Amino acid sequence: HVVYLSDTGKIKVGVTRSDQVPVRWIDQGAVQAVVIARTPYRQLAGLIEVELKKSFSDKTNWRAMLKPQLPDRDTLLAA
């Protein structure tokens, strides 16, 4: 499993299986994403995600996905 940060209009934290990268990000409308941890099992990835949710959202704003926007290349770097 991987824990990642993605830019879906704002920075979001998430977890997915390694074989779902980048499909999961595309499904969520991310314009960019970065893996921040790789874990051997889902529970550990979830624990990392819980800590990161204190600083980043874990929800995708689906309404924002409907609006065209140009990515800010430095959004994830600033996070």
Q: Counting beta carbons within 10 angstroms of the beta carbon of residue 40, is it exposed (0 to 12), middle (13 to 18) or buried (19 or more)?
A: exposed
Alpha-carbon distance 41 to 13, whole Å?
17
Q: pLDDT by residue (tens digit) across 2-21?
A: 999 998 888 899 999 999 99
Q: Counting beta carbons within 10 angstroms of the beta carbon of residue 36, is it exposed (0 to 12), middle (13 to 18) or buried (19 or more)?
A: middle
Q: pLDDT by residue (tens digit) across 9-64?
A: 888 999 999 999 999 999 888 889 999 999 999 999 999 999 999 998 777 665 65
pLDDT of residue 57: 76
Q: Is the peptide bond before 71 cis (omega within 30 degrees of 0)?
A: no
pLDDT at 65 over 60: no
pLDDT of residue 66: 60
DSSP 8-state secondary structure symbol assigned to residue 4 = E
